[in-house]
Amino acid sequence: MPDSRASSSGLLLAIGAYGLWGFLPAYFLLLAPSGPIEIVAWRVTLSLVFCVILLAVTRAFRPFAALLRDRRIMTLSGLAGILIAINWIVYVFASTNGFVVEASLGYFINPIVTVALGVLLLRERLRPAQWVAVGISVVAVLVLAIGYGQPPWIALTLATSFGFYGYIKNRMGPRVTAVASLTLETAWLTPLAAVVLVVIAANGALTMGAEGPLHAVLLGLAGIVTAVPLLLFGAAARRLPLTVLGLVQYAAPLLQFAFGVAIMGEPMPPERWLGFSLVWLALIVLTTDALRHRRRAAIPVEGTTAG
């Protein structure tokens, strides 16, 4: 029963995390006329404030202070900060400029990019089905490139930056919690974000406080909107098998895709449908292979006994 309750709560937490991520485009549109750079600058600064409050409430400053003395962790967190900043800027730009569908594509192909990084950086060997999934994804990108008239740069940038971000987070190890990691990453970025906000203000273009109280409140929630899904995800990851978590991750790009097509009315010509269909086919192949491999690994070998 405890395992069942943990799995149920983990599933709800995962749905909450990816659901919130799925509705981010709607939130960013509500921040108009704020531009992507200002939004990300506030997102960085206010996330740091929110994370410091969380560290204080949870009395986690002592283990966090130990991380500050770890040169390797500090270097990796700086690299992670750069990657997530690139990801945030591109994503906010896409959300506020009519590229929500292409942004969703980036997170659809992110699992494929993660697999490719495992081969390139960790020298992992792919199973035949994984090679098939990668091959289908390459064809999908080519189809979409022909349809767009150019490579889908937004999607590729989002998938690549988040893929490398995940790789670096993995290198940090389990002792760096979600809150500690985000605190370190935003701490590296906050000085730059503060300079950006000062420059924007000096040019008379700062929207915080200039667009009414509702806009100021919404923009002020940027830190909470950033941190809460990460915390839900971190809690879910401790309660769910990775295969289940991997399946739920597609909820976010599906919601983003539906929002872009149904609400924003972004065009979906036949070649784009074909490209997306190929990506979805690749994900089905990848997920089916992962589930089959996990099932086989769980079956004990005949003739062995537990020690």
SS3 for the chain, per residue? CHHHHHHHHHHHHHHHHHHHHHCHHHHHHHCCCCCHHHHHHHHHHHHHHHHHHHHHHCCCHHHHHHHHCCHHHHHHHHHHHHHHHHHHHHHHHHHHCCCHHHHHHHHHCHHHHHHHHHHHHHCCCCCHHHHHHHHHHHHHHHHHHHHHCCCCHHHHHHHHHHHHHHHHHHHHCCCCCHHHHHHHHHHHHHHHHHHHHHHHHHCCCCCCCCCCHHHHHHHHCHHHHHHHHHHHHHHHHCCCCHHHHHHHCCHHHHHHHHHHHHHCCCCCCHHHHHHHHHHHHHHHHHHHHHHHHHHHHHCCCCCCCCC
The residue to which tokens 């974000």 are assigned = 193
User: In Å, how far from its chain's centre is CA 213?
Assistant: 30
The contacts found for 260-265 with CB under 8 angstroms, 24 or more apart, are: 260/25, 260/100, 260/101, 260/103, 260/104, 261/101, 263/26, 264/25, 264/98, 264/100
The residue to which tokens 């189809």 are assigned = 143
Amino acid at 78: G
- The residue ranges of every structural domain in the chain are 2-298
Specify the pLDDT at position 287.
81
Specify the pLDDT at position 112.
82
User: What φ, ψ does residue 70 adopt, rounded to 5°?
Assistant: -95, 105
Specify the pLDDT at position 6.
61
Specify the pLDDT at position 239.
74
C-alpha span between 131 and 94 (Å, rounded): 30
CB 253 within 8 A of CB 96: no
C-alpha span between 257 and 109 (Å, rounded): 13
Specify the pLDDT at position 117.
81
CA distances in angstroms from 136 to 89, 112, 231, 272, 274, listed in the order given: 28, 10, 33, 15, 12
* pLDDT in single tens digits along all 307 residues of the chain: 445 666 678 788 888 888 898 999 999 999 999 999 999 999 999 999 999 999 999 888 989 999 999 999 999 999 999 999 999 999 999 999 999 999 999 988 888 887 788 778 877 777 888 888 888 988 988 888 888 788 899 999 999 998 898 888 878 887 788 889 889 999 999 999 999 999 999 999 999 989 999 999 999 999 999 888 878 887 787 677 666 766 777 888 999 999 999 999 999 999 889 999 998 998 888 888 877 876 776 554 444 333 4
* Pair of tokens at residue 202: 């000096």
C-alpha span between 87 and 36 (Å, rounded): 11
Specify the pLDDT at position 299.
55
Amino acid at 164: F
